[in-house]
Structure 1
Amino acid sequence: MLDFPRWKIWAVILTLLIGCLYAVPSFLPERIATQLPKVFQAKVNLGLDLAGGSYLLLEAQTSDVAKARIALMEDQIRTELRKSDGRIAIGEMSTRDNKLTFMVREPSQVDAAVERIRPLTQGAGMTGQRDFNVEVRDGNTIVVTPTDAGIAKSVEDAMTVATEVIRKRIDEMGTREPTVIREGASRIVVQVPGLQDPSALKALLGQTAKLEFKLVDTTANPVDLAKGIAPIGSEVVPYPNNPAGGPVIAVKRQVMVSGDELTDARQAYEPKTNAPVVTITFNRSGANKFARTTQANVGKPFAMILDGKVLSAPNINEPILGGSAQISGNFTVESANQLAISLRSGKLPVALKVVQESTVSPELGADSIKAGITASILAVVAVALFMFATYGRWGFYANLAVTINVLVILGVMGLLNATLTLPGIAGFVLTIGTAVDANVLIYERIREELRRGRSVVQAIEFGYKEASRTIFEANVTHAIAGGIMLVLGSGPIKGFAIVLLIGIATSVFTAVTFTRLLATRWLRAKRPTQIKMGPLRIVPDNTNIGFVRIRHIAFIVTALLTIGAIGLTFARGLNLGVDFVGGVSIEEKFASPPPIDEVRSTVNGLGLGEASLQQLADKNIVSIRLPLPDTADEGATDRVVEKVKTALAAKFPGAKFSNYSTVSGKVSGELVQNGMLAVALAIVGIAIFSWFRYEWQFGVSTAVAIVHDVLMTVGFFALTQLAFDLNIVAAVLTIIGYSINDKMVIDDRIRENMRKYRKMDMKALIDLSVNETLPRTVMTSFTIMLALGALLIFGGHVLRGFTAAMMLGIVVGTYSSVYVSSSLLITLGLKPNPTDRKVTTGLASNAERVGPRNEG
């Protein structure tokens, strides 16, 4: 265990050195970082909550994909059946119920028609199915129906194209370093640093830019049109911003020329009126189609249709042969330029709707960075001083390992091009506290073995060996919670989970392997006969508290507190954030603490709906929550935010906008569902791991204790009415991870003592195990509380609820580990198994020869 050959020493040092080197670019200015070798230019990206900017979550209207596929198939079938080498006459096609239905006029040609149509279908990925089913009904009626596999493949293809189209559109705007990524099957996340007014971006991204030229059906009956009825083979199309009952026209469903055949689009001006227009240029195929169509239809009107609405419907006065055209439609210069960008970058194959958005001011981002750095530095200093005072030289080893661990986390994040968010900073601060846990486990075990009479070398070797197993098992459970956050989480939860998971992997390496290397080198150089640690001891040696004796009282207290927490939650409810209830959330920072009643009356006077206000811990900041505008207009939310900002700035001089976010009802419902599912899966997953790793009693007691911890945390938020949002779900999942970490350490010691003291009374054995691990439990809780205390005081108001939840969770988790989980094992009937011959190998057998420690 303490054998470190030279190659292994260099492997450890080089690994940590490379990890630290990858962290360097994140601390350097951009101009210097770009001069480094390319392999070391990767750096950590700052999230919008730190850099300021806009975030949009776009959802595809997937029902449109099926309609587009049917329309394309309709054109293909018409073309195929009209071929001159064997024309097949058919009746009008119906697209009702999302399927194509038409009749073959000559029954003898039905089989030939089917043979021509089947090759138009394609395989739907690896499913073995076709994208359309073709069947004959009633002898001469052919029905072509899209399959589920075909629609799924079409949606996947459409989302891939849509992601690229959006990226091109944002690049055309000249925006710096945007992030465009897929999320799930039908959503796209767009993050644009530095963009404070996303209204133009939303207008650009919300425009499908599906441009079509179709002939106007002049045979349509105006009375039928007013009812939305078009002649067979035609469809009703409205004009832009058309009110109910407004003007519409009928156009042929067949497309003359589409925007797919454009090579360029530019904003220009109409020579006679100087009005903004968009000039377009077709490719050769499009130019030929446009020329043929205009030649054959001189004197007839044709419609320019954009995203299902008529821009204009002029007459074709003469053939248009030059391969170019001009689009007019009451444009402004800005809207004409946006349309030109959309047409140049290509049409979106599916309509996208903004379902969640937020904007953070650069000032708030700068404040968050400053607060996060301050909290991190204070956390490092406080934990480092405490560890050094408690463990001396060994504390120095732990502090060095924690410092390197932070740098390696940054290096790994830079290598992965990950994004650091404000919850990610909280993850860093928490990592500082939890990273020392492994060292505390090791050092307390070394102390314990020294008291048992082992030599220095044996104590260190046995301490690392036994603690390493416990560290691994505890971190597996922590990783389960982190993995669930990463998979089911959204936004801030994912940012926190990334730092947490990377921190779990790197902290095990630095805290165990690296400190063991330092200990080995010291042993070889000094060959000490005793180990001196620091003078500070929170838990005295040989502490022998009778925890089990008062378990019945503890059970009663626990039951009363849990019932009280549940009652409070149902009676008062939770102050759910906009993440969970949907709506618009605006934060405004005032020059001095404002009168809340005046702020409320100012906002309510705008007629935007009933406002819910909350003055945050920083009394100068007020959170304002409003319902979402009851309209499909994409710009409605922006107008709501602008009205609130303008009204408050006029009423309260010096008031400044900090940030806003909107969440649709659909997304908020999903977040509630995913949050509850994440917590439930974490509890079940960790309990199952504990069950399989030990006996079933350990799994049940662990699950009960974790449920207790979660309910107590939720009850705390019901009592205090602090905002309960996604950050708090991340805190609850972290509490679950920490709590099980603590319980795993105690359970592992109980299992070890069950093997060593087979005839010891179970109550005495559990008391012995809890007392043996009590120094580690208290020390770890204290170091994490030091780190969280720095975050609570200096981390800023955004993370205050998260930090409060974590601090409560540490206290509750420590209590449940000692008084609920461990004592419950007796109630569940856990007993040592005399036939259990599983003992740890090597030095573990030496532990049995040493015999039980003096319990008196």
Structure 2
Amino acid sequence: MLVFPRWKVALIILTLALGVLFAVPSFLPDRIVSKLPAAMQTRVNLGLDLSGGSHLLLEANPDDVAKQRVENMEEQVRTALRRDQPRIAIGDISRKDGKLSFMVRDNSQVDAAVERLRPLTQGAGMTGQRDFNVEVVDGNTIVITPTQAGIDKAINDSMDVATDVIRKRIDEMGTREPTIIRQGSNRIVVQVPGLQDPKALKDLLGQTAKLEFKLVDYAANPAEVAQGRAPVGSEILPYPDNRGGPPVIAVRRQVMVSGEDLIDAQQTYEQQSNTPVVSITFNSAGGRKFGRVTSENVNRPFAIILDGKVLSAPNINEPILGGSAQISGNFTVESANQLAIALRSGKLPVALTVVEERTVGPQLGADSIRAGILASAIAAGAVIIFMFLSYGRFGVYANLAVVINIFVILGVMGLLNATLTLPGIAGFVLTIGTAVDANVLIYERIREERRRGRGVVQAVEFGYKEASRTIFEANVTHAIAGGIMLALGSGPVKGFAIVLLIGIATSVFTAVTFTRMLAAHWLRKERPADIKMGIMRIVPDDTNIGFVAIRHWAFGLTALLTVLAVGAVGVKHLNLGVDFVGGLMIEAKFAEAPHLDKVRSSIERLNVGESSLQQFGDPKTVSIRLPVPDQGGAGASNLVVEKVRKAMTAEYPGVVFSRYDTVSGKVSGELIQNGILAVMLAVIGIAIFSWFRYEWQFGVSTFVAIMHDVLMTLGFFAVTQLEFDLNIVAAVLTIVGYSINDKMVIDDRIRENMRKYRKMDMKGLIDLSVNETLPRTVMTSVTVMLALAALLIFGGHVLRGFTAAMMLGIVVGTYSSVYVSSSLLITLGLKPQLTDKKSAKGIAGQGERVTARTADDGAQP
């Protein structure tokens, strides 16, 4: 394992050099990056919590898609039956229950009608079904029913078109590097860096921009129209800007011209009144249709309809020829320009509703970057000093591996065009702490083998060989938690998971392969007679603590603490963040620390709902939580924010709204469900892996210990009332991964000793295993705690709850690994035996070239 041919050395160095090289553009300004070759223009994108900007989650209602398809089919049916000869006369078309049904007046034409209608249906993807079923009922009634396969395909097609339309609209706004991606079957995520006021964006994206010109039904009875009753062939539409007239109007269903015939739309001014209008230009087909209809209906009014609302209903004084027209209404220059953009980019095939909104100010983003860099630097410095003092030359190797690993992670993220978020920075800091875990395992094993009498080369070789297996198994469990975070997580959880998963892969390479190459080069060049580790030793080599002897006391304490934690959650409840309960959260930074009661009174006077205030991070920063308005649609939250902003600014000059989040009840319910599911899947998945890798007792003890760690963390948040949000879910999942990492090391040593010492008493064997791995357990915990302490002190208030959860998890995870999980194996009846069935063959011959010690003599080779 210590033989490194030149080609292998060159390959390792080349791989790491490429990783570092691809990380460099992320540190360069845009003007320099633009001059680099295309392959080198790989940069890590900054998330909105670092760069500032707006995040919207838009959702389409599948029922609207189905309804629209039925409406479109109705127009096609009318055209198909009347266009060709002989014309087929039908009665009124009904849309009841989402189906189209109508009577054919001449029974002899029923079959001909069906033949004309069947070509209107299409195949629904690869399902083998049609998008509509056409059938005859009662001899002369034709029923056209949309199929589920057709609806699913229509939703998918509509969301693809909607994504493209949204991208065009945002590009028209001139924003920089927006992110527009589909999420699930009926949602679209929109992230726009640098946009701190999303009102204009929401107004623009909220418009379906379905433009229609229809004739006004002037023969309709005004009294019946006011009551919502329309004549046959007409419909009632709202007309909010009908000055002095009724708020509704009756229009014919048949469309004169639609927005699909537009080729341009611009904001202009009406010549006589100089008011803002939108000038539109039709294509040749649309111009001919518009000219023909206006020629046939002079002195009759027509309605200009946008998204189901009448903008205006001017009179046709003369034929409108030339293929152009003006849309007038109660426009401002800004609203007319937005409508022009929406019309130019095309109509949305489905209405979209904002179900989640997050806005981060640029100042908070810059503060987060500074805090993250400072915390990372301090964490790296603390870990580097600690590793050097503990392991000397080998500590230098580990430190070099950690520094290169950070650059390689950035390089891989750049190649993947990944986004770095604030929790992602936390992932970096955590990686700094955990990346040395593999080296700690290796170096402690080398120490141990030297104490057993192995030579220098043998000790190094055996240390890397044995530790590599444990490192692999521990990282598999860590990856399970990270993979579940990536699959089920949202926003910050995914950002954290990306860094974590990349870090797991790269740290194994740098910590094992790279440092082994350095160690092999040193051994070959210097041929040392001994290995000198660092001057600092936290756990003495001759430590022999009787952990199993107090296992009943430990079990009792564990049960008591767990009951208290569950009780705290049940009585005090978790202080769930806006992510999980829904609502509106505003973070306001005051010039001086305000009195919360006074701020609360000011907000209550605004009648925006019951408020909840909490100092957030420092006395000057206050978190204001309000319910999402029940009415008013997507713009209602903006109105509330603006209302609160004006009131606070008037009463507290200098106050800054650094960010605000809006999450609907539906999304918050999904986040709760996904959060619980993610934690449970991680626990169960890791326990099953431990079960199959070792024995069932290991799986059960792992499950019990991890549930203890999770419940203790929840109890801590219930007692402290720290906000429990998506970041904390990421922390809990990381605690699960870290705890099992610790337990896997101890379990692997127990398994190894069970093969070596077949006759040893199980209590003595577990004590021996825990004591042998105790230096690694403590050293790893200390390095991670150093990194987290830097994050807690210097990482900013946004991640304070996350960091507190992680630090608590390290403490309870270490306790449960040492006192609960391992001792529970005795209670579950584990007996000394060959537990790893896959490696049973040849174990006796392997023998590790070491004479097994007995429980009595403890002799060394």
- TM-score, length-normalised on structure 1? 0.98
- Residue 166 of structure 2 aligns to which amino acid in structure 1? I
Q: Which residue of 2 aligns with 1:358?
A: 358
| Aligned ranges 1:35-434 → 2 under 5 Å | 35-240=35-240, 247-434=247-434
Identify if the C-alpha distance between structure 1 residues 787 and 843 changes in structure 2 by more than 3 Å, giving closer, same or farther. farther
1:346: Cα distance to partner? 0.4
Q: Distance in 1 between matches of 2:326 and 2:242?
A: 23
* Structure 1 residues 782-815: Cα deviation after superposition (integer angstroms, max 9, x where no partner): 1000000000000000000000000000000011
Q: Distance in 2 between matches of 1:677 and 1:488?
A: 8
Identify if the C-alpha distance between structure 1 residues 835 and 659 changes in structure 2 by more than 3 Å, giving closer, same or farther. closer
SS at match of 1:164: helix
1:236: Cα distance to partner? 1.1
SS at match of 1:305: strand
The answer on whether the counterparts of 1:49 and 1:360 sit within 8 Å (CA) in structure 2 is: yes
1:848: Cα distance to partner? 5.9
More divergent stretch after superposition (653-662 vs 266-275): 653-662
| Aligned ranges 1:451-462 → 2 under 5 Å | 451-462=451-462
More divergent stretch after superposition (461-470 vs 788-797): 461-470
Q: Which residue of 2 aligns with 1:851?
A: 852
More divergent stretch after superposition (743-752 vs 713-722): 743-752
| Aligned ranges 1:544-559 → 2 under 5 Å | 544-559=544-559
1:836: Cα distance to partner? 7.2
The answer on whether the counterparts of 2:617 and 2:798 sit within 8 Å (CA) in structure 1 is: no
Q: Distance in 1 between matches of 2:606 and 2:834?
A: 76
Q: Distance in 1 between matches of 2:228 and 2:743?
A: 67
- Residue 850 of structure 1 aligns to which amino acid in structure 2? T
Q: Distance in 2 between matches of 1:95 and 1:536?
A: 81
Identify if the C-alpha distance between structure 1 residues 507 and 240 changes in structure 2 by more than 3 Å, giving closer, same or farther. farther
1:35: Cα distance to partner? 1.9
- Residue 730 of structure 1 aligns to which amino acid in structure 2? A
1:690: Cα distance to partner? 1.1
1:835: Cα distance to partner? 9.3
Does 1:603 pair with 2:598? Answer: no
* Structure 1 residues 526-581: Cα deviation after superposition (integer angstroms, max 9, x where no partner): 12221111011111113211111111110000000000001111111111111111
- Residue 851 of structure 1 aligns to which amino acid in structure 2? A
More divergent stretch after superposition (489-498 vs 756-765): 756-765
Give me the identity figure in percent. 75
Q: Which residue of 2 aligns with 1:470?
A: 470
1:196: Cα distance to partner? 1.6
SS at match of 1:765: helix
The answer on whether the counterparts of 1:163 and 1:182 sit within 8 Å (CA) in structure 2 is: yes
- Residue 846 of structure 2 aligns to which amino acid in structure 1? S
Q: Any stretches of 5+ residues in structure 2 without a counterpart?
A: none
Q: Distance in 1 between matches of 2:759 and 2:98?
A: 74
The answer on whether the counterparts of 2:433 and 2:787 sit within 8 Å (CA) in structure 1 is: yes
Identify if the C-alpha distance between structure 1 residues 836 and 88 changes in structure 2 by more than 3 Å, giving closer, same or farther. closer
- Residue 462 of structure 1 aligns to which amino acid in structure 2? F
* Structure 1 residues 352-394: Cα deviation after superposition (integer angstroms, max 9, x where no partner): 1111112111111111111111000000000000000000000
Q: Distance in 1 between matches of 2:256 and 2:227?
A: 26
- Residue 486 of structure 1 aligns to which amino acid in structure 2? L
Q: Distance in 2 between matches of 1:193 and 1:835?
A: 54
More divergent stretch after superposition (819-828 vs 234-243): 234-243
* Structure 1 residues 333-353: Cα deviation after superposition (integer angstroms, max 9, x where no partner): 111111000000000111111
SS at match of 2:593: coil
Q: Distance in 2 between matches of 1:710 and 1:390?
A: 31
- TM-score, length-normalised on structure 2? 0.97
Identify if the C-alpha distance between structure 1 residues 516 and 843 changes in structure 2 by more than 3 Å, giving closer, same or farther. farther
1:855: Cα distance to partner? 4.4
SS at match of 2:83: coil
1:298: Cα distance to partner? 2.4
SS at match of 1:88: coil
* Structure 1 residues 591-624: Cα deviation after superposition (integer angstroms, max 9, x where no partner): 2222221122122222211210111231211111
More divergent stretch after superposition (325-334 vs 585-594): 585-594
1:833: Cα distance to partner? 2.8
Q: Distance in 1 between matches of 2:246 and 2:707?
A: 58
The answer on whether the counterparts of 1:234 and 1:252 sit within 8 Å (CA) in structure 2 is: yes
RMSD: 1.7
More divergent stretch after superposition (359-368 vs 549-558): 359-368
The answer on whether the counterparts of 1:544 and 1:855 sit within 8 Å (CA) in structure 2 is: no
Q: Distance in 2 between matches of 1:139 and 1:778?
A: 84
Q: Which residue of 2 aligns with 1:518?
A: 518
SS at match of 2:802: helix
1:416: Cα distance to partner? 1.1
SS at match of 2:586: strand
* Structure 1 residues 253-281: Cα deviation after superposition (integer angstroms, max 9, x where no partner): 22121101100000111111111111100
The answer on whether the counterparts of 2:242 and 2:312 sit within 8 Å (CA) in structure 1 is: no
Q: Which residue of 1 aligns with 2:636?
A: 636
- Residue 687 of structure 1 aligns to which amino acid in structure 2? A
* Structure 1 residues 22-64: Cα deviation after superposition (integer angstroms, max 9, x where no partner): 1101111111222222211111111111111111111112221
Identify if the C-alpha distance between structure 1 residues 663 and 834 changes in structure 2 by more than 3 Å, giving closer, same or farther. closer
Identify if the C-alpha distance between structure 1 residues 7 and 790 changes in structure 2 by more than 3 Å, giving closer, same or farther. same
Q: Which residue of 2 aligns with 1:646?
A: 646
1:834: Cα distance to partner? 6.2
1:840: Cα distance to partner? 8.1
1:701: Cα distance to partner? 0.9
SS at match of 1:613: strand
Q: Any stretches of 5+ residues in structure 1 without a counterpart?
A: none
Q: Which residue of 2 aligns with 1:678?
A: 678
* Structure 1 residues 824-843: Cα deviation after superposition (integer angstroms, max 9, x where no partner): 11111111236977348699
Query: Stretches of 4+ moved more than 6 A in 1?
Result: 834-837, 840-844
Q: Distance in 2 between matches of 1:289 and 1:835?
A: 82
The answer on whether the counterparts of 1:839 and 1:845 sit within 8 Å (CA) in structure 2 is: no
Q: Distance in 2 between matches of 1:46 and 1:843?
A: 54
More divergent stretch after superposition (248-257 vs 389-398): 248-257
Q: Distance in 1 between matches of 2:498 and 2:835?
A: 44
Identify if the C-alpha distance between structure 1 residues 807 and 375 changes in structure 2 by more than 3 Å, giving closer, same or farther. same
The answer on whether the counterparts of 1:93 and 1:233 sit within 8 Å (CA) in structure 2 is: no
* Structure 1 residues 489-539: Cα deviation after superposition (integer angstroms, max 9, x where no partner): 111111111111111111111111111111111111112221111011111
1:689: Cα distance to partner? 1.1
* Structure 1 residues 422-447: Cα deviation after superposition (integer angstroms, max 9, x where no partner): 11100000000010001111111111
1:234: Cα distance to partner? 1.9
1:748: Cα distance to partner? 1.1
Q: Which residue of 1 aligns with 2:589?
A: 589
1:460: Cα distance to partner? 1.2
Does 1:829 pair with 2:846? Answer: no
Q: Distance in 1 between matches of 2:81 and 2:88?
A: 5
| Aligned ranges 1:475-514 → 2 under 5 Å | 475-514=475-514
The answer on whether the counterparts of 2:751 and 2:835 sit within 8 Å (CA) in structure 1 is: no
Q: Distance in 2 between matches of 1:39 and 1:625?
A: 46
More divergent stretch after superposition (530-539 vs 27-36): 27-36
SS at match of 1:430: helix
- Residue 114 of structure 1 aligns to which amino acid in structure 2? V
More divergent stretch after superposition (829-838 vs 213-222): 829-838
SS at match of 1:354: strand
Q: Distance in 1 between matches of 2:794 and 2:339?
A: 47
The answer on whether the counterparts of 1:756 and 1:848 sit within 8 Å (CA) in structure 2 is: no
| Aligned ranges 1:19-34 → 2 under 5 Å | 19-34=19-34
How many residue pairs align between the two structures? 855
Q: Which residue of 1 aligns with 2:18?
A: 18
1:326: Cα distance to partner? 0.8
Q: Distance in 2 between matches of 1:805 and 1:190?
A: 30
Identify if the C-alpha distance between structure 1 residues 29 and 678 changes in structure 2 by more than 3 Å, giving closer, same or farther. same
- Residue 567 of structure 2 aligns to which amino acid in structure 1? G
The answer on whether the counterparts of 2:580 and 2:672 sit within 8 Å (CA) in structure 1 is: yes
1:171: Cα distance to partner? 1.0
The answer on whether the counterparts of 1:88 and 1:104 sit within 8 Å (CA) in structure 2 is: yes
Q: Which residue of 1 aligns with 2:801?
A: 801
